[in-house]
Each structure stands twice: as structure tokens, then as C-alpha cells.
Structure 1
Amino acid sequence: MAKHTELEMICRNELPVVQTYSDPFPQRKRKIVYHPTVKQWMALLSGALIFVPGGMSMAFGLGWNLHSHIHTTMQLRYSWFVGFIIGTLLGAPLIKVLPKRGFMLLGAILVIIGGIIFTSVPHSYGAVLAARYINGIAIGSTTLVFLVHASEIAATENRGFCLWLEQNSMTIGIVIQVVYTSQWTSRVYFAADRLHGIIAIIFGVLAICCAHFIVESPIFFVRQCDDARALNCLRQLQRPEYAAPQALQVVLDEQKTYVVETETVEWRDTLLQSPLLRLLLYRSMVAFGFSLPMNEAMQVANLVVLGDYEWQPIVFVILRVGGTFSSLYMFDVTGRKMVSLVALLFTAALSIAIGGEYDDELSVKSEYHMSVICVLSQVFQFFAGLYAPSTSVYLSEAFPMTLKPYFIAGCLVLQQVIHIIVICTFHFNIYSMYMYTLLVGILMFVCSVAFGVTMPETRKTTLGEAQISFRKLLHFKCC
């Protein structure tokens, strides 16, 4: 009750903001009565569906537009990433005042608009370019909102799964794009980009239909001092047997505690104790896991070995999605840290191994060397897919509420900036591939060592407890 009064006073500007970032969770054990339910997953389904055409558009810009009827330019490649940045920056200041359903509906509508353009005029360069910007804006804003929303409505026991949906859906979109574009044939009198648009429209419509299941975060209404609507949201998210008024009140009090402790903090103290630099590096590794150079290396090697795009690109993405699905069980059972560190170490080793195949100028003409690169690239995607979902989980847990949308936006923007820089500067040849894979491998190895001692294990911790862990710099435990 004291916390409730304090929150109301803060809302009325009658209580001064605290000046220090004290530990809100003393050394005591509390059982939070917040149980996982299918309703939580259904509430996130609309966003997950929007990410599928997002994964397709990302793969389109990273080399998998093999049968496009328009000329592939540098701007066409990076346009989606620029749109993503715009959408993320627009969404950050609005997330605290607009309901999540509105964001998801707007994202789905923009995806449909982009899909209609692709379907109607697939031969028009300007139209397709505009469609890619529109899709990027939709995915950028939706990703930011999804990461914040999922972390707030997910139960402690299944927060890893709820956040896993983001990268999983993007990976499914990558699979669709790579499979259909690599298996397309010029004998089909149907524009490949038109199919791209049709699939985007289908998922956009499904996302609008699933928006009915979206439940607003109780924290959104707690911050507005609206207990009745916050309790209604909690009731929808709980299983019926745990929706008794007394149990819901316990959860509501926990939510109020979290809001008070993470909002009544000075920006200076938040910035000083923020893990922003760690998370910037952590998320940026995803950009190197699925990138233009790695995709072009796979395509060139495949053509040298087989002379056409046959089954190897399919294995390439099947292993990617296999890695992503393999992480599902691990995050909430064995923990996030160990899985992500092992995955990053393997991707570092495989990147260096791929680079080793480019140390000879004649290697690009050798079927043996190219077949080795095909295999290494495929295995690389498995571990890259295993690593990527952990970044979404950590992003959603690391930051206090005051700056959370802006810090997450910063991490997402850096990821896209890396893609843009690589697209604008990379030109496939033996030397550039050798340097790129070697530098990426070394960077991943150094980061994996750094993350091993600085990233906490947040399995089965509340958001508040996870943020306390992130304020500490050194963490030597891996599980």
C-alpha cells in the first residue's frame, strides 16, 4: 500500500525524484505469482507475423534477390535498413504514450502497403525502392515496441521464449526469401518480386487479424495510475486458476514496485550504471551473423561447385532456422549466457576458418576450396542462428524503464548501420573476403571473451532483478 501511495504521489508530482540508484531488491526471496499462459504468446503473435516479411526484406537487401526484374543498386540494398532506422527512432518517444495495439496495426498496414506495391509494379525500380523503405519503417517501429512489450507481459519463467519470437520470425522470413529466390527459374512467367509482395500481404493481413489478441502491458497503465485497467490486463494474461483477486493484487504490487524503482531515477545515475556499451556490442554481432559478404561467399561457392543454385542454399537456411529453434528450450532452462557464448565462439572460429580458404588467389576457382566454404558457411549459419535470439532477450532485460526505449533503439540502430556500412564498402574478391572474415572472426572471439566476464545470467529473474545484475560489471558465472 505504501508503494501504491508513493506511485500516486509521483503521478501527481507531489513526491520528489530520488537522487541515487539504490538497490530496490534487498537480499530476500519472493515468490511472484505470475504464471505463463498461452494468452501471453497470443498477445505477441501479431508482432511475430509482421517480422516474417521483415526477414524477407532483410534477406532481399543482403544478396538474396537473385531473380529480381529490376537493377540491383547499392541504394536498393540498404534502403530497408535506412527505413528500419527511421521507424525505430520514430517509435522510441511514442512508446510510452501510445498503446501497443496501435503500433502493431500500423506496422501491419505498412507491411501490406509495401506488399501491394511489390505485387502491382514489380518491374518499377522507384516503386520497389519506396516499398522497401515503407517495410523497413514498419519493422523498425514494430521491433522496438515488441521487445519492450514482450518483456513486460511475459512471465519470469518464459520470458526467454517470448523474446525468442522476434529473431525466430525474422529467420523464417529469411528462409522463405532464400528458398524461393534460389529455386526460381526464368522459365516461370511470373515476377519473383511479385511473389515477395504477395507473401508480405498475407502475413500483414494475418497480423491485423491477430491484433485482436494483443493485451496491453499492465505496466503501461500502472504508469498512468490506472489500477482498474492494469488489473484487467493482468487478469487476461493469467491462467484462470491464478486469476483470483488476491493473487492479481500481489502481481500488481510487484509491478508498482518495479515502476517506482525504475522511473524515480536521475538520468545521470542511469547512464553511469547502464550496460549500454555491452549491449551495443552484443546486438551488433547479429549483423555479422547474416551479412552480405557471407551470403555472396555462399552463392559464389555454390556456383563453382554445382553450377547453379540447387540444394545448398536450402541447407544454408535450414541450418540457420535449426540453430534458432535449438535455442528455444535452452534460454529458459539451461540459461541464456552459456548458450550465447558457445554459439559466438563457434561463429568466430568458423569465420576465421572461412577466411583461411581465401588465402590463395586460386582458391575461388577450386571446387575443393569452394565446397569447403559451402560447408563452413552452412555450419556458420547454425551457430549464428543459435546466438541471435539471446540478443533480444538481453536487450529487453538490461535497461531501466526511463531510458529503455531509447537504449534499445540505439542498439537496433547500430545493427542496421553496420549492415549499411558493409553494403556500401564491400566488393567481393579474394582479398576483401579474406580480410572481412578474419576481422569478423577476431572481433567475435574478443567479444565472446569479454561477454563471458561481463554478461550476467538472467534466467528466472524478474526484470528488476535482471537490471540489478546488469549494473554490475563483472559476472564470472555462466549458468
Structure 2
Amino acid sequence: MSTAPAVPQPLVNRHFIWKVSFIAGLGGILYGFDMGIIAAAMIFVRSTFGLSTRMEEWVVSIVLVGSMTGAFVGGSIADRIGRRATLVWGGIIFIAGSVLAPLSPNVACLIIARALLGVAIGFTSVTAPVYVSELAPPQSRGTLIGLYQFALTIGIALADLVGYWLAAQQGWRLMFGIGAVPAVLFLLMVITVPESPRWLFAQGRQTEAEQVLRSYTDEAGVSLFIDDIRNSLRTPMERRWSALWSPAVRNSLFIAVGFTVLQQVTGINTIIYYGPKIFALAGITANKSAIFATLLVAVTNVLATIIALVLVDRVGRKPLLYVGVGGMTASLFTLAACFYNQDALGHSLGVIATVCLMAYITCFAFSMGPIAWILVSEVFPLRLRGRGVAAATLGSGTSNFIVSLTFLSLINAAGNAFTFAIYGGFCIITLFFVRFVIPETKGRDLESISANTASSRQAS
């Protein structure tokens, strides 16, 4: 395996980089909140509108249809009008969906509002990690991109906290409406930051790109970044989606889409969307108690993500994945065994299920959760980065949609134990994918990562 030569690290204005990462993180909070709030709200939406199991699955899952649409369109928009402008539009759509959802007079209107929120999620999930990756220096890129996933976990925890707080008054409308607050803050902050210098350079706006670079790095850093960008643009920016299938990019596409699909089919969002339902299956039947148990899992998710932020640029991506996915596998099979023997376990099943889910979410949070989006933002060449990340997000959204739309039906048809064993089986597949497909990208500049990925494909 070839190793990229060491390059001098530029001096950077850490305040500026952290500000940009914080703004992108707000997009993650919105993503997590609007995904997570449905777990608590659905308990009361179900009774308000008299929903069937199938309609309940659609109310939960329609946000993923919107996110797939937003990812598909957002990738093209991010390459065409810029990363910052796409984030601005994402903020506007977030506000629209957050206002419409609590005002919904019927389930059809709520579905439309949730679909709008999904479109906004698609825009920001495609664009925010790319935007940060194109500004961040190589030695801290993993941590800074990982902040997006960390913010997403905070959004989920906030959603569960709001759900727990409002559960007594069954205030599902206010649960949805609170999402407008971070949406407005996100929009106000996005308009204060510049466009990505890599995107500006790709559009022939070199002077503007240099001005942005000088706002957060020294002259040596400007020269280094410009050289990297110029080398990556020897091939012009590509406007065709079919270019993702070219021999030079196909391996990057396989890595990104394959890993984001595996991230979803290992079952993470069944816990995010249906946490109270899972705990009810385990014997925790009181609504507020089930929401509280889901909140504990969400807080664990936040705390465990910090592990990834600390270690991802120190020990690397693959070691964290081996440990994390291995732990997820053990947790899911243990949970499956507990459900299989739930008559013998009796009331202790609820405690065991909570421990298993907390162990699972811990392992996910320091491995697959942040690292999937770090890799997606790293492996594509600049000329196709927006579309590449959009394709990965589309794959993630599609698999997420299928999992969330089928979870309750699968529980009813196959039983609790077999359902969680299926997700455990996908974890085993993920371990093989990490071993034989995922590259180690720690400390390498973006251009060398995409070049080495392409060359490894051609060599194979």
C-alpha cells in the first residue's frame, strides 16, 4: 500500500474553522431533532388522528422520502450555486416545515410538513460535511466533520428531552414547533460565513477563493491549499451524474454508498424512531417511562460520540470501526436472545433491553455514526464531491426509509428476536466491509485520498 508523503501543515485561524463547524453542526441538530421528535410525538399523533400501523409507518418514514429528494437535488445545487447558498435554502425549508407541522389540521398536512423537513435534511446532510471538509486542514478534518454527527446526536437527545417534558400534556404540536427555533438560528448564522474556497476556485473565481483562504490561514497555507485545489481540478468540474460510474470514481462511490447503506440496515434508526415502541415490547408500557428510557439512550449517544471526536484523528477510522461494529453485533444478538427468552426473563427484560440498547448506541456513536460521514466527505474528488456525497446520502436515505417503513411490520411478522438478529447479521457483513473495502484516511489531504482510491480500483 502506498503512503502519501508528509506535507507541511498550514497555520489556521481556529476560531473561524470552529465557527463554520458550529454552523454546520446546527444543521446536524436540526437533522437530529426533526428525525428524533417523531418517537415521542407519534404516541400522541397516533391517537389524535386514529392512525393504523401502516399509516404510522408512513408518517415516520415520509421525512426520509423528502431527505432522499433533498439529497438528490441538493448535490446538484451544491455544485451549481455553492455550498453556502445551498445551506441557506436548507435553513429556509427547515423553517417552513417546522411552522407547518404544528399547525397541521389532519394527517395529510402533517405528512407534507414532514416531507418538507426531509428535503431540508437532505440539503444540509449533503452540503454541511462537504463544506466543512473543504475548509478544514487535514490534521483535524475528521474531528471537525465528526462534529456534524455529534450535533445530530444532540438534536436527537433534545428531541427526546422535549418529548419527555411535554408528554404529560400530550403536546405533540409544540414538540414539532420548537424545531423552528434552531432553524431560525441556523439561517441567521449561515448568512455570516463565506463560500467554500474550493468551490469558488472551481468556478474560476480564484481571487475570491484566495480572499476566503486568507481569512483563516497564512500565506503558506494559501499557497498549499491553492496547489492542492489546482491539482484536483486538472479534470474540470463534472456536471453529469453518470460520471460517478467512471473507473476513476467508481470505487469511491462503492465505499461511500455501501458504507452509508450498512450504517442504516444495522438498525440504528429503529431505535431513534421507535424507541418507546421497543421499550413497550420489553415491558416498559407507561408512555412517559418509555420516552424517558429513549432519552437515556439518546444521552448515551451524545456522550459516546465524544469518544469519536477525540480519537478519530489520533487512532484512525478503521480501529474505531472494528471495536464499534463488533460491540454493536454483540449487543443486537444479546437483545435478540433476550426477546427469544422473554417469558423466562419476565420483568427484568426491560432492564436488560435498556442496557443492550445503550451498549449498542454507544458502539454506534463512536464508530459508524460519525465515521460514515467523515469517509463520504473524504473519498470523492473535488470535481464530483457534491454529487458523490448526494449519492451516498441518497443510498442512506433509501435504506433508512426501507428499514423504518418495515420495522413494525417485521416485528409483527417475524417476531422481536428474529428482527434484531437480522440487524445483527448486517453488523457482521459490515465488519467484512470495513476489513476489505474501507481505506484508512487519517491525516491525509483530500486530493491524495481520492487519487489513491481511484488507483486502488484500477489496480484491482
Q: TM-score, normalised by structure 2?
A: 0.87
1: CA distance, partners of 2:252 / 2:214? 33
Summarize deviations over 1:328-386 as a string: whole Å, max 9, x none: 111122212211221111101111111111224636x8112332112111211111111
Out of 292-301 and 276-285, give the one that drifted further. 292-301
Which residue of structure 2 aligns with residue 234 of structure 1?
213
CA-atom RMSD in angstroms: 2.9
Would the alpha carbon gap of residues 123 and 371 (structure 1) be closer, same or farther in structure 2, given more than 3 Å must change? farther
Name the SS of the counterpart of 1:389 in structure 2: helix
Quote the offset at 1:451 in angstroms. Answer: 0.8
- 2:16 is matched with 39
Superposition deviation, residue 132 in structure 1: 0.6
Q: CA deviation at 1:71?
A: 4.2
- Residue in 2 aligned with 1:346? 327
Per-residue CA deviations over 1:111-166 (Å, capped at 9, x if unaligned) read 111121234x2553232222111111011011111122121111111111221122
Contact 1:182 1:310 in 2 (8 A): yes
Which residue among 65, 76, 80 is the counterpart of 1:82? 65
Shift of 1:307: 8.8
Check if 1:457 corresponds to 2:431. no
Task: State how far apart, in whole Å, the 1-side matches of 2:399 and 2:250 are.
Answer: 26
Structure 2 partner of 1:107 = 90
1:209 aligns with 2:185: no
Structure 1 residue 371 and structure 2 residue 351: aligned? yes
- CA shift in 2, pair 1:305/1:350, >3 Å: farther
> Contact 2:78 / 2:127 at 8 angstroms: preserved in 1?
yes
Cα contact 1:60–1:77 (8 A) shared by 2: no
Establish whether residue 173 from structure 1 lines up as the match of residue 155 from structure 2: yes
**CA distance in structure 2 between the aligned counterparts of 1:307 and 1:251, rounded to whole angstroms:** 52
Q: Structure 1 pair 183/131, CA: closer, same or farther in 2 (3 Å)?
A: same
Q: Aligned with 1:333: secondary structure?
A: coil
The one of 122, 141, 147 equivalent to 2:129 is: 147
Q: State the Cα distance separating 1:212 from its structure 2 match.
A: 3.5
Q: Are the aligned partners of 2:202 and 2:237 in contact in 1 as well (CA < 8 Å)? A: no
Unaligned runs of 5+ in 2: none
| C-alpha contact 2:37 2:175 (8 A) present in aligned 1 | no
Q: 1:115, 1:272 → 2: CA distance? A: 37
Alignment partners' CA distance in 2, 1:337 and 1:38: 29
- Mapped to 2, the partners of 1:269 and 1:131 lie a distance apart of 38
Counterparts of 1:354 and 1:367, CA distance in 2: 15
Q: Does 1:440 align with 2:417?
A: no
Larger Rg: 1 or 2? 1
Task: Give the whole-Å Cα distance in 1 for the aligned partners of 2:3 and 2:282.
Answer: 57
- 3-state SS of paired residue (1:59): helix
Shift of 1:284: 2.0
Shift of residue 34, structure 1, vs aligned partner: 5.3
- Once residues 270 and 42 of structure 1 are traced to their aligned partners in structure 2, the CA distance between those partners, rounded to angstroms, is 37
Conserved? CA contact 1:302–1:374, under 8 Å: no
Helix, strand or coil at the partner of 2:81: coil
| Residues 298 and 277 of structure 1: CA distance in aligned 2, closer, same or farther (over 3 Å) | farther
Q: Distance in 2 between matches of 1:267 and 1:83?
A: 23
Query: In the alignment, residue 270 of structure 2 is paired with which amino acid?
Result: L
The separation in 1 between residues aligned to 2:374 and 2:424, in whole angstroms, is 23
Contact 1:118 1:194 in 2 (8 A): no
Note if 1:404 corresponds to 2:382.
no
1:48 to 2:21 alignment: no
Number of residue-to-residue matches in the alignment = 441
1:420 has 2:397 as partner: no
Conserved in 2, the CA contact under 8 Å of 1:45 and 1:210?
A: no
In the alignment, which residue of structure 2 is the partner of 1:8?
A: none
Amino acid at match of 1:458: T
Q: 2:110 aligns with which of 118, 128, 131?
A: 128
Partner Cα distance (1:149, 1:133) in 2: 24
Whole-angstrom distance in 2 between the partners of 1:340 and 1:221: 34
Contact map agreement 1:289 1:381 (CA 8 A) in 2: no
Does the CA contact (< 8 Å) of 1:292 and 1:423 recur in 2? Answer: yes
What code does the residue aligned with 1:402 have? R
2:43 match: secondary structure: coil
Check if 1:248 corresponds to 2:222: yes
1:384 is matched with which residue: 364, 367, 381? 364
> How far apart in 1 are the matches of 2:388 and 2:297?
33
Structure 1 residues without counterparts, runs of 5 or longer: 1-24, 475-479
Q: Compute the TM-score of the two structures, normalised by the length of structure 1.
A: 0.83
1:395 aligns to 2:373 (yes or no): no
Q: Report the residue type matching 1:385 in the other structure.
A: A
Q: What displacement does 1:43 show?
A: 2.2
Q: 2:450 is aligned with what amino acid? A: Q
